[in-house]
């Protein structure tokens, strides 16, 4: 049976080792992730089966005073991919944060990317879960060209500013100096 468990302090180092494999070029330093988990800026969860087998993980920024939350990291172990675990985990996260708009970043695919390109497949995965791309002229986060997506399919009448959303979500974790250095979003 699938369950969620909180990431504990004893999980930090082995989790970070896994994250280095999953997020090669877009991973915050260990000390920053550890600090943000300890200070409750990040919420961290494992998806487990039978409570002893970690299948995937998610780290989410969820400031109490915002209607937005950022899925910073979301991954399923390689041996469990393409088996429906990611969809189930995302459904659980969406139900936990049902009062919020969940935001995430995906690598922008190359202009001529094939339908089976991993970035294109990742976008399609999130679209099936109700996420849509928030239009931007530019979204470069930690030096990586990104698309910003949110579960806004049923909120088409609202206006969303990707820059305002990302500013509100990243500022608590980074501070203003690092925000200016690492997050470049233009609506």
Predicted pLDDT at 57: 97
CATH at 53 = 3.40.630.30
pLDDT, mean over the chain: 89
Residue 25: which residues within 8 A CB-CB, separation 6 or more?
Answer: 143, 144
What contacts 28, CB < 8 A, 6 or more positions away?
Answer: 72, 142
Decide if pLDDT at 51 tops 80. no
Summarised one tens digit per residue, pLDDT across range 126-144 is: 999 999 999 888 898 888 8
Residue 50 has pLDDT above 80, yes or no: no
Cα distance between the two ends of the chain: 42
Reported as a single tens digit per residue, the pLDDT across 84-110 is 999 999 999 999 998 899 999 999 998
CA 57 – CA 99 distance, rounded (Å):
21
Q: How confident is the model at residue 42 (pLDDT cuts 50, 70, 90)?
A: very high
Higher pLDDT, 46 or 173: 46
| E strand or H helix at 132 | strand 132-133
Q: Is residue 37 helix, strand or coil?
A: helix
The answer, yes or no, to whether residue 178 has pLDDT greater than 90, is: no
| Token pair for 136 | 């931007």
What is the mean predicted confidence (pLDDT) over 29-33? 92
Query: Structural domain tally of the chain?
Result: 1
Distance CA 107, CA 105 (A): 7
Residue 22: which domain range? 2-186
């Amino acid at each position: 049976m699938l369950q969620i468990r909180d990431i504990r302090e004893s999980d930090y180092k082995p989790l970070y080792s896994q994250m280095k494999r999953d997020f090669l070029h877009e991973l915050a330093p260990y000390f920053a992730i550890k600090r943000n988990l300890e200070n409750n800026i990040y919420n961290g969860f494992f998806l487990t089966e039978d409570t002893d087998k970690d299948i995937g993980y998610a780290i989410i920024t969820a400031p109490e005073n915002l209607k937005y939350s950022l899925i910073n990291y979301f991954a399923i172990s390689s041996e469990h991919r393409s088996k429906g675990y990611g969809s189930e985990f995302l459904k659980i996260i969406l139900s936990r944060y049902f009062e919020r708009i969940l935001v995430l970043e995906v690598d922008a695919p190359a202009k001529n990317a094939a339908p089976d390109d991993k970035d294109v497949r990742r976008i399609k995965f999130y679209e099936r879960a109700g996420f849509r791309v928030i239009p931007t002229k530019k979204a470069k986060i930690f030096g990586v060209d990104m698309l910003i997506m949110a579960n806004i399919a049923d909120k088409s009448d609202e206006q969303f500013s990707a820059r305002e959303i990302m500013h509100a979500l990243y500022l608590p974790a980074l501070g203003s100096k690092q925000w200016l250095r690492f997050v470049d979003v233009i609506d």
